[in-house]
Structure 1
Amino acid sequence: MVVTYKDWHEMLPFALHGYRTSVRTSTRATPFSLVYGMEVVLPVEVQIPSLRVLMDVKLQEAEWVRTRYEELSLIEEKRLAAICHGQLYQQRMKRAFDKKVRPRVYHVGDMVLKRILPPQNDRRGKWTPNYEGPFVVKKVFSGGALLLTTMDGEDFPSPVNADAAKEGLKRTTASSMIVCALVKASWIIPGGDQSESFCSEGRKHGESEEIWGVTELELDEITGFTLPLG
């Protein structure tokens, strides 16, 4: 533990020694043993000789060399065992993580907020907003990416990862009517094919015909403003 932030470099060798001689949970071995094939001799074992040190001292040089050669010949086996333990550890971590994760499922027409990346340097500090929006999900890709569009109908230049978005409005009757009306107002093309295909997505997800057949008067009653419907 450093006394001040200026003497961290003096304590670095001790921190590295502790890390290299400690058994890692993922590999069930010390980094030192995976490199040299034997456990490190601690300074306290030199000052107060341990059984291992006493036995090495009594060995003849030829016998010590033979013992050391056997340890080095088994180092590859130790490393393979460490790799297997590491893979099992990663699988356990993944299972534990997956238990706590709720997959985010979005549908076309959902209103979402997008996380602001990277974090902006703002004078408001912790009061700086982390999300912007709302935006409308225009397309959902199989890999978990979303193609968003603004409320004015402007598409994002590239898809957004679903992890960087969160649900902005629930798929209630009111929000469904607003989304459909906005899409009809901003995305309509000659013939009305695009708006009709978009609104048909609402029917696929259980929305009634009355909801997606909202009239201009009904929208005015819900939102307080009127949009021209296609």
Structure 2
Amino acid sequence: MGATLYYLVNGMEVVQPVELEVTSLRILLESQKRIERAFNKKVKPRGISDGDLVLKSVRALLPIDPRGKFKPNWAGPYLVKKILLGGVVRLTDLDVNNFTNPTNLDQLKKYYP
């Protein structure tokens, strides 16, 4: 027949992409700033500072959890020891045991006892 498999499945011939037009560096930087501004509009300030009590999001999947979908979504409360650059937070529990791994600020929410 002389028809390709692509034509038989899709009803049209394959269209090869044309080389993408490379824009200037100035246009790329402007578009990146525009995307950054749009993203930053939606970011909510957390209002967390050193010494606050916080809850930490439980994102790790345990291999077998008998509670299933009823397992808790937040763990804590924990004490904020220090907030570092870039939203990195050092936590301690209420018995003043330091965590070895830092936590990201977006995984925390303020705890009100």
* Alignment partner, residue 19 of structure 2: 34
Please state how far the C-alpha of 1:84 moved relative to its aligned partner. 6.5
Q: Which has the higher contact order (CA 8 A, sep 6+)?
A: 2
> What SS does structure 2 have at the residue aligned with 1:119?
coil
Equivalences for residues 1-230 of structure 1 within 5 A:
32-34=17-19, 78=21, 80-81=22-23, 88-121=30-63, 122-169=65-112
Measure, in 2, the Cα distance between the counterparts of 1:120 and 1:85.
46
- Cα deviation digits, residues 23-45 of structure 1 (max 9, x gap): xxxxxxxx81226xxxxxxxxxx
- Cα deviation digits, residues 99-139 of structure 1 (max 9, x gap): 11113232222000111232335343332222100001112
The RMSD of aligned alpha carbons is 3.3
Gaps of 5+ in 1: 1-9, 22-30, 36-77, 170-174, 176-230
> What SS does structure 2 have at the residue aligned with 1:81?
coil
- Cα deviation digits, residues 118-171 of structure 1 (max 9, x gap): 2335343332222100001112223321111111111111221111111112xx
- Cα deviation digits, residues 168-210 of structure 1 (max 9, x gap): 12xxxxx6xxxxxxxxxxxxxxxxxxxxxxxxxxxxxxxxxxx
Gaps of 5+ in 2: 1-5
Q: Point out the structure with the larger helix share.
A: 1
Measure, in 2, the Cα distance between the counterparts of 1:140 and 1:105.
12
Measure, in 2, the Cα distance between the counterparts of 1:85 and 1:119.
42
Equivalent pairs, count? 103
Measure, in 2, the Cα distance between the counterparts of 1:155 and 1:34.
54
Residue 138 and residue 87 in structure 1: after superposition, are their counterparts in 2 closer, same or farther (change >3 A)? same
Q: TM-score, normalised by structure 2?
A: 0.68
Measure, in 1, the Cα distance between the counterparts of 2:28 and 2:72.
39
Q: Which amino acid aligns with 2:17?
A: F
Residue 86 and residue 148 in structure 1: after superposition, are their counterparts in 2 closer, same or farther (change >3 A)? same
Q: Point out the structure with the larger strand share.
A: 2
Measure, in 1, the Cα distance between the counterparts of 2:31 and 2:91.
37
Measure, in 1, the Cα distance between the counterparts of 2:29 and 2:18.
19
Point out the structure with max Rg over C-alpha. Answer: 1
Residue 83 and residue 32 in structure 1: after superposition, are their counterparts in 2 closer, same or farther (change >3 A)? farther
